[in-house]
Amino acid sequence: MDIESFRNYCLEKKGATEAFPFGEDTLVFKVMGKMFALTGLNTLPYRASLKCNPDRAVELREEYDGLITGAYHMNKKHWNNIQPEALPQKLVIDLIDHSYDLVKDKLTKSQKSALKLL
């Protein structure tokens, strides 16, 4: 999945927004103000960080050695760094969905209500 397709898919998620809170080189995707994905814009090949269930994160890192690793500058227990262009598109989509759902499920009751109204 190329970076533009990655961006477009993230923005298709309900309530998703994009921002540059860490500088102009790092694009961050949030739902209700909470990060679910980020990617560097000046790194080749481009990499993305996605939230992941800790047990699944370990399995993915073993299965896709080198293509999925613990996310740099993030809690490696809960965040994976992936190479979207080197992985099957279906897997990348599944990982984006998984990350979004993990963050959405942890929203407060009022945030979940507000998200439903969007």
What's the topology of domain 3-112? Answer: Aspartate Aminotransferase, domain 1 (3.90.1150)
Q: State the pLDDT at residue 76.
A: 86
Q: Which two tokens stand for residue 106?
A: 């942890």
Spans of all domains in the chain = 3-112
Is this structure's pTM higher than 0.85? yes
CB hemisphere CA count around 30 (13 angstroms): 14
Give the Cα separation of 82 and 51 in Å (integer). Answer: 11
pLDDT digits (tens, 9 = 90+) for 7-17: 999 999 999 99
- The predicted-structure confidence for 10-69, as pLDDT tens digits, reads as follows 999 999 999 999 999 999 999 999 999 999 998 888 999 999 999 999 999 999 999 999
Task: Give the whole-angstrom CA distance, residue 70 versus residue 118.
Answer: 33
Say what the pLDDT of residue 74 is: 87
